[in-house]
Structure 1
Amino acid sequence: MLKIRDVTRRFGANTAVDNVALEIPNGQMVGVIGRSGAGKSTLLRMINRLIDPTEGSIIFEETEVSALSGPALRRWQRDCAMIFQQFNLVPRLDVLTNVLLGRLNHRSTSLNLLGMFSREERAQAIASLERLGIAQASLQPAGTLSGGQQQRVAIARALMQQPKMILADEPIASLDPMNAKVVMDSLQDINLRDGITVVTNLHTLDTARAYCSRIIGMAAGKVVFDGAPEDLTREAVHMVYGADPDGDEISEAITSTSIAASRPRKSAPSLTPAFAST
C-alpha cells in the first residue's frame, strides 16, 4: 500500500500540489489525469523522491519514503521505477546496454565503474526486450530508434530494476496512436501479469478509461476526482478540465489518441449524465 498523507509541494509562491491524500493498494493500475500544470508530474516526482514534499508524508509498506536518504533512498528509487516522456536513454549506447543500466542500484560501485555485467544480467535484459517486442534492435544505438521503440526500451530498463511500483510520467504524450497503444498494452501487461502497481499520468481520457481500473483527476494541485472509469461523468470531466476559453465544456474528442477518434467524426462521444461523487 502506498499512502500519501496530506502532501503539499510549493515552488516559491506557487503551490504545485496542494494537500493531497491518497491510498493506492498494491497491484492497481491508476491513471492520473488533468490539465498541464495540474500537479500530476510533481506528484509522481515526489513519490519517486526526485523532489521532496514541502509538507506531509509518503509511506510505502510502513516505510516513510519521504524521510529516506543515502542508500535507503537509492533502494527506494530502485523499487519505484520511473518512466519519462522523453525516455531518458543514453543515445550513443546500444539498446542492450541502456536496458542493463536498470541493474545499477542492484550492484556494487566497483562493478558499476568497470561496466561489467554478468551473463545472467545480459540474458535478463534480452528477455525484457523480447517481452517488449524490441529484441531485434538490441545492438543498435538507442538514439537511432523511433520514439515508440525508445519508450519500450525505457520500460524494459524499468523491468530490470525488478520494481514493486512503476511510475510513468506522460509515457505516450509524444507518440503516435499506434505506438501509444503498444506502450500502454505493455504497461497493462506488466500490471496484470506481474502484479506490479502502475501509476501513470495521462492527458487522454479514452486511454485512462481503457487501461486503468482507477482514475485520479487533478486540478490546480488538488485531487478533484478519484474513482472508477465508469464514474468519470461529464460533471467529473468538467471538474478536472474546466471549460475552454469560450466558456464551453471541454469536448472529450480533443483528449483522444485512439486511431478511430483521430479521424473526423460527427460528434463527440456522449458521457453518462449523472455524477457519482467520491
Structure 2
Amino acid sequence: MNFELTQVTRRFGEKTAVDSVTLSIPHGQMVGVIGRSGAGKSTLLRMINRLADPTSGSIRFGELEVSNLRGAALRHWQRDCAMIFQQFNLVPRLDVLTNVMLGRLNHRSTLMSVLSIFTREERIMAIAALERLGIEQTAMQAAGTLSGGQQQRVAIARALMQAPKMLLADEPIASLDPLNAKIVMDSLRDINEREGITVITNLHTLDTARAYCERIIGMSGGRVVFDGGPQDLNADAVKAIYGAGHDGNEIDESMTSTAIRAPVAKIATDASLSPTAMVATAH
C-alpha cells in the first residue's frame, strides 16, 4: 500500500513552508528527510500526520484520502500514523508504564479513556514494548526522572502501542548524545525491519541518514531537491540540499556527524552490555 503526496503545499501567510512536494513511498520503506533548519521537514511530517493541514495538494494512503479526513476518521489516521517528537511529549509526573499505555487511547472507548482504565492485556503489551526497548526496569518511575535517551525510547514504546501502519519521527535524536542517538536509531530500524512498518524520519545528520535509511529525501526552501539512495548522496547532492558554507566552499559533513568516538564505540559494540548499561557507562 503506497503512501502518496501530490503537489502538497503549506503556506503561512506570505511564507511557503512546503512547496509542491510530490512523493510516492512504498509500504515498508525507511526514509530519511534531511535539510537545513527551516527547509520544511517538520511541516511536511506534521501534514502527513494531519497535525497541520495542507494549503493545497493531496495526501493519500492507498485508497484513503488523508488530506480530507475529519472527526473520528482523522483520529483513526493519527492512530495508524504514529508520531515521535524531538521533545518526547510524555507526561512527566506519570509513571513510564502509564505513559506507554496512553498509546492505546484511540483504540478504546471514551469512558475507559476518561477514567484511565487499562486492561491486563494492555499492561502486558506496554511491558513488552518497554522490554523491547531495553527500559522495562523504568516502568514505575516518573517519566520526568529519566534521561533524554530513555524518554525517547519510552516515546517509541508508546508509538508501538498504537499498532501503527506508519511511524513518523521528527528529529528524534537531535537532543541526544551519540550513544543514545545510536540506540534510538537502531530501535527505529528494528521496528521497520521486523514489523515492516514504513518509517519516515527527519534528520540533521548525513552520516545517520546514510547509515540507517534506504531512501533519502533532501529538502531546501520547502522543495524536494534530492530523492535517492545513500550511495547517491554525493558532494553535488549535498550542495543542492545545504548550499555552500560561508566561505563558498562545500559543506564539511563532519560538522553534522553523530559518529561515536572510538572509546564509546567499544562500549556500543560490547555484546555483554545491555542498552541501559551502555547508557550508564557512557555517562
Shared fold (TM-score, shorter chain, > 0.5) = yes
State the TM-score, normalized to the length of structure 1: 0.93
Report deviation, 1:158. 0.1
Aligned equivalent of 2:278: none
Aligned equivalent of 2:76: 75
Query: Is residue 219 of structure 2 the alignment partner of residue 237 of structure 1?
Result: no
| Counterpart residue type for residue 76 of structure 1 | W
Bigger shift: 246-255 or 211-220? 246-255
Can you list the C-alpha shifts for 1:199-256, whole angstroms capped at 9, x where unaligned? 0000000000000000000000000000000000100000000011221211111111
1:1-278 correspondence to structure 2 within 5 Å: 1-260=2-261
Bigger shift: 31-40 or 240-249? 240-249
| Counterpart residue type for residue 61 of structure 2 | F
Bigger shift: 206-215 or 240-249? 240-249
Distance (Å, rounded) in 1 between the aligned partners of 2:139 and 2:13 = 44
Can you list the C-alpha shifts for 1:78-125, whole angstroms capped at 9, x where unaligned? 000000000000000000000000000000100011110000000000
| Counterpart residue type for residue 81 of structure 1 | A
| Counterpart residue type for residue 90 of structure 1 | V
Contact map agreement 1:5 1:20 (CA 8 A) in 2:
yes
Report deviation, 1:260. 3.1
**Gapped runs of 5+ residues in structure 1?**
264-278
- Between Structure 1 and Structure 2, the one with more helix by share is 2
For the aligned residue pairs, the C-alpha RMSD in angstroms reads 1.2
Contact map agreement 1:58 1:66 (CA 8 A) in 2:
yes
Distance (Å, rounded) in 2 between the aligned partners of 1:43 and 1:120 = 35
Distance (Å, rounded) in 1 between the aligned partners of 2:132 and 2:71 = 33
Report deviation, 1:261. 8.8
Distance (Å, rounded) in 1 between the aligned partners of 2:140 and 2:18 = 41
Distance (Å, rounded) in 1 between the aligned partners of 2:189 and 2:48 = 20
Distance (Å, rounded) in 2 between the aligned partners of 1:92 and 1:61 = 39
| Counterpart residue type for residue 11 of structure 2 | R
Matched residue count? 263
Aligned equivalent of 1:275: none
| Counterpart residue type for residue 220 of structure 2 | A
Contact map agreement 1:253 1:261 (CA 8 A) in 2:
no
Distance (Å, rounded) in 1 between the aligned partners of 2:114 and 2:32 = 37
Structure 1 residues 262 and 219, CA, compared in 2 at 3 Å: closer, same or farther? Answer: farther
Distance (Å, rounded) in 1 between the aligned partners of 2:112 and 2:70 = 22
Distance (Å, rounded) in 2 between the aligned partners of 1:146 and 1:132 = 14
Aligned equivalent of 1:276: none
Percent identity between the two aligned chains: 75
Structure 1 residues 180 and 108, CA, compared in 2 at 3 Å: closer, same or farther? Answer: same
Can you list the C-alpha shifts for 1:1-31, whole angstroms capped at 9, x where unaligned? 1100000000000000000000000000000
**Gapped runs of 5+ residues in structure 2?**
265-283
Q: What SS is found at the alignment partner of 1:50? A: coil
